Amino acid sequence: MMKTLRIKAFGITRDILGGREVELPLNEGGTVGDLKAQLASAYPGVMELKSLFIAVNNEYADDTVVLNATDEVALIPPVSGG
């Protein structure tokens, strides 16, 4: 069954995605790498960023991490605090 992943967007990604939170379909076994590919196709603006990291449950996650519908997933564009 197709599940839905809720994704938080911050900084410039909030402008690109058009909201603080968006939903994307999640395939069984879908990874962070798959999500990046989905984002690039649905929101080409993310390709223009200097970098884009994905956080899963408040931790930076690499492309191999498998996503679950219950995970807290967030887009982390280049940070600029300080």
CA angle 18, 51, 66 (to 5 degrees): 80
SS3 label, residue 49: coil
Q: Which one of residues 1, 2, 28, 48 is an interface residue with other proteins (CB under 8 A)?
A: 48
Shortest distance in whole angstroms from residue 25 CB to other proteins? 23
Q: How far is CA 44 from the centre of its chain?
A: 13
Residue 8 interacts with other proteins (CB under 8 A): yes or no? yes
Stretch of 22-30, 33-41, 62-70, 73-81 contacting other proteins, by CB under 8 A: 73-81
Q: Is 65 in the site for other proteins (CB under 8 A)?
A: no
